[in-house]
Amino acid sequence: MTKMKDVQNQPDHRNVDLSKVGIKGIKYPMNVLDRTNKTQATVATVNMYVHLPHKFKGTHMSRFVEVLNDYYADLNLKTFFKMLDRIRETLDARSANLEISFPYFMKKKAPVSGVPSMMEYACEYIGEINGKERKLLICLKVPVCTLCPCSKEISRQGAHNQRGMVSVTLLFKEFFWIEEIIEMVEGSASSDVYALLKREDEKYITEQAYDHPMFVEDVVRDVTEKLRNDHRFTWFSVEVENFESIHNHSAYAYTEVAPRP
């Protein structure tokens, strides 16, 4: 049998290191931790990269998928770094990066009727191993409803409200549940968002929002205050975008908290 030439391992003479080389946008079935059901099956979009020294022409793309195939069935914080270690070792790289984004579902009951429905939340794990440094960020996007305090103050009847998106990115030192952050964020808005509501639920939510008006600035500050008091998080950022109902623009606020020991 004729030995096939390994083109990727051939030398390159342009003297250019590549910070990230790999595969992007591969979709794969994946199991993630679930507070209620222990695990949850989802479909993830995965990006996997390594550092490529200037002396090599290319990397072995198929090896990324081989590693992913070994770990997709049991994704947790320990296996995440095992995946990164395997990527770096398999491809003989100085550093490795792994980005996994997926929809996460929670069953929510409507506040009055109690009718259940499934809410979707966008989640992402972003990890890197570079020498002895290991870093894992978890990003969550939580839809909420806000009611404008200014509109309520100046109007004789009613106030405009809108759906918003709260994005939280976390660097942590102790385990936490995704559901904890979702509940924390939803409790910092004028009201929750649901997939299914009856009329009595709509009445309740409309009145609840009216009684709890919030600017985007208020939501960011409330979430920040809660996270700042939680010792599990060493750094975080909070971003809120309101998709305004009466303006031709979004309202936006952002902050991040510097690292702490």
| pLDDT tens profile 203-242 | 999 999 999 999 999 999 999 999 999 999 999 999 999 9
Is 90 exceeded by the pLDDT of residue 55? no
Q: 55 and 145 in one domain? A: no
Choose the final residue of a domain: 102, 136, 171: 102
Q: Given this model, what pLDDT does residue 212 score?
A: 97
Q: 212 and 144 in one domain? A: yes
Please state, rounded to an integer, the average pLDDT across all residues of the chain: 91
> Could you tell me the CATH number of the domain that includes residue 154?
3.10.270.10
In a domain, 198, yes or no: yes
Q: 208 and 123 in one domain? A: yes
User: In total, how many domains does the chain have?
Assistant: 2
Q: 259 and 152 in one domain? A: yes
Q: 164 and 57 in one domain? A: no
Q: 121 and 88 in one domain? A: no
What does the pLDDT average to over 89-103? Answer: 92
Q: 165 and 97 in one domain? A: no
Q: 78 and 180 in one domain? A: no
In a domain, 10, yes or no: no
Q: 117 and 56 in one domain? A: no
In a domain, 7, yes or no: no
In a domain, 3, yes or no: no
Give the tens place of pLDDT for each residue, 160-194.
999 999 999 999 999 999 999 999 999 999 999 99
Q: 21 and 74 in one domain? A: yes
In a domain, 97, yes or no: yes
Q: Given this model, what pLDDT does residue 12 score?
A: 62
Q: 60 and 32 in one domain? A: yes
In a domain, 161, yes or no: yes
Q: How many whole angstroms separate alpha carbon 112 and alpha carbon 251?
A: 30
Is 80 exceeded by the pLDDT of residue 28? yes
- Domain of 233 in residue numbering reads as 110-261
Choose the final residue of a domain: 75, 102, 129: 102
Is 60 exceeded by the pLDDT of residue 7? no
In a domain, 8, yes or no: no
In a domain, 177, yes or no: yes
Q: 257 and 150 in one domain? A: yes
Choose the final residue of a domain: 39, 69, 102: 102
